[in-house]
Every structure is written in C-alpha cells, then in structure tokens.
Structure 1
Amino acid sequence: MLNEKILVIDDDTNILEVIQMRLRALGYHVTTAKDSKEAKKALSTTAFNLVILDLRLAEENGIQLMEEIMGCNPILPIIILTAHGSIESAVEAMSKGAYSYITKPFNNEELSILIKNALEKQRLTREIEQLRSKLNEQYNFKNIITQNKKMQEIFERVIKISQTDCTVSIYGESGTGKEMIARAIHHNSNRSKGPFVATNCGAIPEGLLENELFGHIRGAYTDAHESKDGLFTRAEGGTVFLDEISNTSATLQVKLLRVLQEREIKPVGGSKNIKVNVRVVAASNTDLQKAVQEGIFREDLFYRIHVVPIYLPPLRERKDDIPLLANYFMTEFCKALKKDALEFTPATLQRMALYDWPGNIRELKNKVEHATIMSNKNIITPEDMFSNAEVTPKSTFNSFKDAKERFEHEYVENLLKISKGNISKASKMANRNRAEIYKLIKKYNINIEHYKHISP
C-alpha cells in the first residue's frame, strides 16, 4: 500500500534530495531531517510508517538516535544507511532492533524492495497488536456479561486464578462457556502474549489424539513424511485447553500425567523427551470424581488437573442473565446483518425465562441468531425464537412420579446450596439420615463439589 509516510534522516542534503525524489516517485509521502533535533520534531507531529536513518550523522550517534526512536515506537521499522566501511556498525544496529541496512551508493530497486518488505512487516505487526488488543478487550473480566451472583463469585475466583500459573479444571454442561472462561484466564494472565491452543479430546479419534497433542517425528508411521509439532509444542509460552478430557484413553492419561508432572512430551515415534513451557486448562461436562470412582479416569491425573476447580452453572440456574445475554447477542447479530436493532416482546422474554435451555448459552445464541435473521418486524416474538412445540405450553399435568422427582431434585439442590455441600448439615436440616441424602444425590447425578464453592 502506497501513501505511507517515511522519515529520512541524513546530514547530507544531496542524499536527502535524491532519496526524497525517488521515494515520492514511488508514491510515498517523504519528510526529511538533517539532524536529531529536526527528526524528533517531525516524529512528535507525524505518525510515520518507516524511518531511514544514516548511521553516521555529523557529531551525532545514529545508533543512539535509533534507540531513542524505538523507545517511543517499538514497532516502527528503521532501515540503516551505511557506507561500506561501517557495515559492522550496521549489523550492531540490527542486533539492537533495526529492520535492515543498505550500503551507499544504493540501488533504487534494492531500496524499493527493502522499504516494501519493512512496511509489510509493520502492517502485520500492527494487525497482530490490534487483534491481541481486541482479544484482551473481549476477554477482559469487566466486559463479561452477567448480573448473576453465582457467576460474579466465579469471576472473582477466576481473576485470582489468572494471576497464577496453576493448572485449572473447568466443569459444566455443554454450552455453559467453559472455553470462554479458559480464554479469559489466558488473556488476563502473564501468558497472554503466548498462544492459546484448544482441542476437544472427544472430537478426535483415540488413535489420532496422541499425534494431535504431542506431534510426531518423520518416519513415525507410513505417511509421516515430515515431522509435525503437536499442540503442546505450538502452545509454548502460552496455554493448552483440553476440552472433554474425560474422553481420553487410559494410555493417553498416563502421558498427560507426565506432561503435568515433568513438563515434557515425547512425540509419536520419538526417543527423546522435549521440555514444554505451557499452562494446562482442562474441562469436562461430566463428574471426573465419579469417573475416578468408576475406574474410567486415573486418580493421580485427576488430582493433577483438579488443583483449582471451577464449576459453571447451567443457564437454567442463572435465568436473571438471559435477557442481558439475549440482548447482547441480538445487538451483535444486527450489526453483522446491518439491520436496525430489534426488541424482544414481553411474551418472548417470559418464554425465555420459562424455557429450560438444555443447550445452555450456545443454544440461546443460536436461537437469537435465528430470530434476528427471520424477524420481519422491529420486534422478536416467541414464534421467531421457538418452534411450535416449544412455544405451546403443555396442556396436561405432569404425572405424580414426574412431579415428585422434580420436587426431590430441586429440594436436594436447594439443600446443598444452603449447606454449601456439607452432607451432615444437609441431613440435619432435612431431618433425614446421611444415607438418604447420598441416595438422592446419586439418583439425580448431583455434583456435591459444585455447592462447596458457591454462596447460598
């Protein structure tokens, strides 16, 4: 892209005129400066895309000026002009951050290519910084949408976790936002400038998952013509997010345990261990403690990933957030579709509050997107969001058995909330023995640990 602004600094006015003429012919906006004073004045008033700097200015140190410029704008590329006899100094300048150097007398085409490449590098650097800034803003805890007390307590916990480098396990039903929490932890941690690499252990066949995580060396198997890095290698300095870790095989669990204990991996077909510097965040939509008891999940691995657990409630337990989330999604979809903002009717808000949301936030987002696309008015009605079967209320009573089980389930959940998961306290409050409480907990597959970390 032409029209970029270039600052040329040289104490030789003839060279300044030649470079200015050549670069303007290529379509660049050029400003010249004969010394550091003029250069600093220009830099204070104009946002330049590139600096071309003579290494030897009269009675001034070009490298020192370069360091001052880079101190104010670290991503501004600087090309050094140098004579044949001072190439060593140019190389020193590059070791201190200069993009490249060119010797006098220079070739027009060579200078043009060097400038083009330097500007392209700066453009990519800016895009990466903008993307990183956008991601950091997106996953900043101040921008996470909730008014639910339980979720606010969880975010307070997550803020503390982010400042450490501990292993984290996130539990919650599908669609509750486990990956969003993992990304928030990463983008608010000291590893935020490193990569965030995610994989769903349940979506990859067992035979391929080890290769996906640890990579392979050339010749590891028939089609392994080249070596390939795995997720742990690609995430160096950052975070690995292992979703649905409960779906890993016993063999792979042993290898994951080694990663967490020794901080090293062994690629498929390899004979040497490779050290890795990553943070591991694991997630599961099932009760890993129960999986340990059933012999499906290794106990030692469980305790390695269960250092700091986070339990995300389903959307049906945070219904006060539904209008907030629905309005946020609707606004975003309207922007993307270039539609005027819509409004949910009172009947739609009521229907959303009554609905159980088995797919949680993911389902809410999908339904709002569908409604935003299909709505022909400036409002969203229940019919826009829900199918006929979902909109029409049930005309018959639940059976006695269903009603009783629903009451039991809700009663036990409320009991555990108030007692904070303390079974002895819960049994005394209910005037029932501990065995009966445990029996109900098992019957409705309730995770006791979840209630130990929330307020009643």
Structure 2
Amino acid sequence: MSTILIIDDDDQLRKSFEKLLSAEGYDIRCAASGEAGLKLVETESLDLVVLDMRLPGMNGLETFEAIHAIEPKLPVIIMTAYGTTETAIEATKLGAFDYILKPFDIPDMLVVIEEALEAGRFMRSPVDMNAVPGQQGVREAIIGRSKPMQDVYKAIGRVSSTDATVLIRGESGTGKELVARAIYQHSLRNDKPFLVINCVAIPENLLESELFGYERGAFTGASHRRVGKIEQANGGTVFLDEIGDMPSSIQAKILRLLQEKSIERLGGRDTISVDVRILAATNRNLEKALAEGRFREDLYYRLKVVTLWLPPLRERRDDIELLTRYFLSRYSREMGVDNPGITAEALQILRQYPWPGNVRELGNCIQKTLIFNRGAPISPEDINQAISGQGNVEGGGAFAGDEGVQQWIVNALTAGGSDNLFESCMDRFASMLISEALRITGGNRSRAAKLLGLSRPTLHSKIEKYHLKFETSVKETS
C-alpha cells in the first residue's frame, strides 16, 4: 500500500482529501504545517507528498526545498491557487513532480498521483542485474546468465557512468524499460529525476505539451503557464519509450534538445536551457521508417550514440528456467500465496514454447498459473492452460468457457446494421475482461489493475464507463 503525506493548513480540504485517497486504497498521513510535515518525512516511510503552497510558518516552497534535501527521490505534487502558480512553477523547476491548480478535478488529480507514485517507484526501486538464484523475487530484476545477457550487462556498465544518449532496441516484452532504469540507477544522475514518457500512450495532440509545456494562451484552455516533463527533469534523465512512433513534428524538437540542450514551450518565444540525459527505446524497424520518411535521419544518428540490443527470449532459452523461478518467487510473494514450485515436465514445455511476447509473456503466464493454482507444483496442464488463455475458473465466470463469448460475437455479426460493430465488440470484451479480473481478486481494484496491466485511475474510468457492479470482499492494497 502506497503511503501519501498531505500537507495543508485547510482542515476541511485536508480531511476531504484524506477520505478520498483512503477510499482509493492509499495509506494517508496528514500535517497542517510545513514543520509538522517535515517531521513525518524524517520519521515515516513515504511514497508521495501532496503539498500546499500557502502554509503558516514555512511556506510551501521552503517546505519543498527542505523535503527535497532530506529525500531527493520522494515525489512531491504541489497544490496551488492560481495566484501562486509562478511559485509552483519554480518548485517544479527545482524538482517537484507536478503542480495542480485549486480547485482541482478529482479524476485528473488521481491520474497525477498515480503517475507520481510510478515515477517514485522507478527512481527508488533498484533493478537487480544478473541476480543470484535463491535471492530473486524481492525486487525487480534483469534475469539471465546466457551469453547475450552477459553482453547486455557489460553494455549497461559501460554507458551508465557517461552522459551518452542511449537507444535501447528489442522486441516488445524484452525488458527495455528495466534496462533504462538500470542505466539511470547506475549513472551520475541517479539522485536527480527520472521521468518516463510513453510516446504511444499519450495522444499526438497532447504529447508536445506534455514534453515541452506551454504558455498561457497557447491554445484554447491554456489558462496558465505549464512546465513540461523535459523541464521538470532538468538535471536528470528522461526515458522516451516507443520513440519509433513519435510524430515527425515532435521529432524535430527532440533533435533540437539533443543538439542545443534547449527547448521552447508551446506558444512561447523564450529559449529555455535544459540539462537532461535522453534514453530512448523502440521495437520498431527504424531503418525501414527512415526509408519510408517516417523517422528523421538526423534524429536517428543523434539517438544511436550508443545502441543497446536486447535479445528475444527464443534466442536465450537457457535463461527460461531462471526467469521462471524468479517469477514464481516474485509473484507468489506479491499475491500472498505459497510458491508451489514447478515440475520438470512443465519447465520443458516452457523451454520449447517460442514466446512471441518474450519475457513479459512468460511473466504473465506464470502469474496466471499462480492465480488458479491449488497448492500442487505447476504441471504441464497448468502451463498449457495459461498459454492458451483458458483459466480453470471454478464456479463459472466470464471466461469459464468461451462458448458464451463466441455466441455473443455470432449474434452481433448476424444481426448487422451497426456502423460501430467493432467498437461495440471491443467494449463488450473489455467489460467482460475487467469483470473477470474483479471477480478473481474479490473486487480489489488495486490487484485487478495490476492483473490487467492498467493504472488504477484507468481501471476506475473503465468501471464507470461500463457501469460495472461488484462487491469488495477484501481490503484494497497496492
């Protein structure tokens, strides 16, 4: 469960905020002044601070600087009234994660909180490399003893202590984000911000403002100046995931950042100097994109100062048993169940499977087997069911069998007359998948979100969209 400290002298707002976040499954601490908040920072294990700018005694900026001096990797979200926006921007430039204007929109605030918690985990959770058997499962790790993975470890060691731009390449699911985090954590900037930007997850019309920020009046709705992620990470590292899908208009601005170490906010004319290290990753064929004019050649050569290739799992089958035992240890611990172990016959099936989804697919497979496991060592039948996607759900459920899904699709197709048939089918499938995740987890939204690979705010929005009803039978944890 993530622990959040709220520092605000407004008793009513603080209590309302505490009630809201507690209902979301967070563990909340509260302070009415900067001085009281600092004592909690020094004595408690915190994951996030939400800090008001106007406080009695120490003001918000002074409080932030003191927090940052004690815990430089503890993310801080600033709450500010419109009149104190410039002070909040200053705090953001000094390392605050983000700022929210009062009165704030609750769904938007929950999204920022989830993003800040994730950024904090990335910065503060070490990534083990080449972990020793029997010591895995406690932390995230890059696992492998094969020759290709030994080359990866050596490359991480060589580039970490430099400021070189690194392009991490490999198929989807090979662990590119973990490698980026390992490079950051072993770099000279490891006490500075580390921000992840997924160039696919953010809509094109929002990506530019997310990266570079904007000035007041830059577009409709831009009521105040906004600092972008690049500026927020000044002095630190920015990881541009899926950069092969970045729109060409934004590619030009990233090129300028790499060449001149400067940016301009949307709607602004001032050149802003920034000092960030860029790590990038893609599973795309950039050479093909170059030939087709979808990726800038000058940016391509700027990015590949160092290129680090991650091998697909099918090219390092000797690591499959090590990875399997790591995932069994890690996920059984996270799910609060005993590690059942695995039979030699089941391991043989895992070694022979081609794993198109690579390490991520293997991890998902092991997680599925643990969900439906009844205590016996994982068998070949368990693995075959997990790979085929047919979980052995007792007592029925949305996916106890696929006949109902098939019949619904047949009915939809034969009925015809819908211009949005595909969207309707996708919504129906998503609704069923979320319902099943909630059923499996007893209504625990945090565990369901983790099972589905969604952020908690995204899961909340889907539950509301599909009007899903469920009973919570266990306490929310995260």
TM (norm. structure 2) is 0.55
Query: 2 CA distance for matches of 1:130 and 1:297?
Result: 34
1:298 is displaced (CA, Å) by 0.8
Match of residue 172, structure 1, among 170, 181, 188: 170
* Counterpart for residue 288 of structure 1: 286
Return the letter of the residue paired with 2:43: R
Runs of 4 or more above 4 Å deviation: 112-115, 124-137, 388-392
Greater relative contact order, per chain length (Cα 8 Å cut-off, separation 6+)? 2
Return the letter of the residue paired with 1:263: K
Query: 1 CA distance for matches of 2:387 and 2:33?
Result: 65
Tell me, what secondary structure is at the counterpart of 2:350? helix
User: Alpha-carbon deviations, 1:335-378, whole Å to 9, x = none?
Assistant: 12222221111121011111111111111111111111111123
The alignment status of 1:139 with 2:127, answered yes or no, reads: yes
Match of residue 204, structure 2, among 203, 206, 227: 206
Q: How is 1:298-309 mapped onto 2 (pairs within 5 angstroms)? A: 298-309=296-307
RMSD: 2.6
* Counterpart for residue 42 of structure 2: 122
Q: How is 1:182-221 mapped onto 2 (pairs within 5 angstroms)? A: 182-221=180-219
Evaluate the alpha carbon distance shift between residue 124 and residue 328 of structure 1 in structure 2; reply closer, same or farther with a 3 A threshold. Answer: same
Evaluate the alpha carbon distance shift between residue 312 and residue 388 of structure 1 in structure 2; reply closer, same or farther with a 3 A threshold. Answer: closer
* Counterpart for residue 242 of structure 1: 240
* Counterpart for residue 310 of structure 1: 308
Identity of aligned residues (%): 43
Evaluate the alpha carbon distance shift between residue 113 and residue 165 of structure 1 in structure 2; reply closer, same or farther with a 3 A threshold. Answer: closer
Evaluate the alpha carbon distance shift between residue 327 and residue 135 of structure 1 in structure 2; reply closer, same or farther with a 3 A threshold. Answer: farther
Return the letter of the residue paired with 1:212: E
Return the letter of the residue paired with 2:280: A
Evaluate the alpha carbon distance shift between residue 234 and residue 354 of structure 1 in structure 2; reply closer, same or farther with a 3 A threshold. Answer: same
User: Alpha-carbon deviations, 1:314-355, whole Å to 9, x = none?
Assistant: 111111111111111111111122222211111210111111
Structure 2 residue ranges without an equivalent (≥5)? 1-31, 48-70, 75-119, 132-141, 391-478
Evaluate the alpha carbon distance shift between residue 130 and residue 386 of structure 1 in structure 2; reply closer, same or farther with a 3 A threshold. Answer: farther
Tell me, what secondary structure is at the counterpart of 2:329? helix
User: Alpha-carbon deviations, 1:399-441, whole Å to 9, x = none?
Assistant: xxxxxxxxxxxxxxxxxxxxxxxxxxxxxxxxxxxxxxxxxxx
Query: 2 CA distance for matches of 1:134 and 1:286?
Result: 24
Match of residue 232, structure 1, among 230, 237, 245: 230
1:293 is displaced (CA, Å) by 2.1
Query: 2 CA distance for matches of 1:113 and 1:361?
Result: 47
1:385 is displaced (CA, Å) by 3.0
1:138 is displaced (CA, Å) by 2.6
Tell me, what secondary structure is at the counterpart of 1:366? helix
Return the letter of the residue paired with 1:120: L
Q: How is 1:5-44 mapped onto 2 (pairs within 5 angstroms)? A: none
1:251 is displaced (CA, Å) by 1.5
Structure 1 residue ranges without an equivalent (≥5)? 1-111, 393-456
Query: 1 CA distance for matches of 2:310 and 2:33?
Result: 53
Query: 2 CA distance for matches of 1:225 and 1:391?
Result: 48
Judge conservation of contact 1:140–1:188 (CA < 8 Å) in 2: no
TM (norm. structure 1) is 0.57
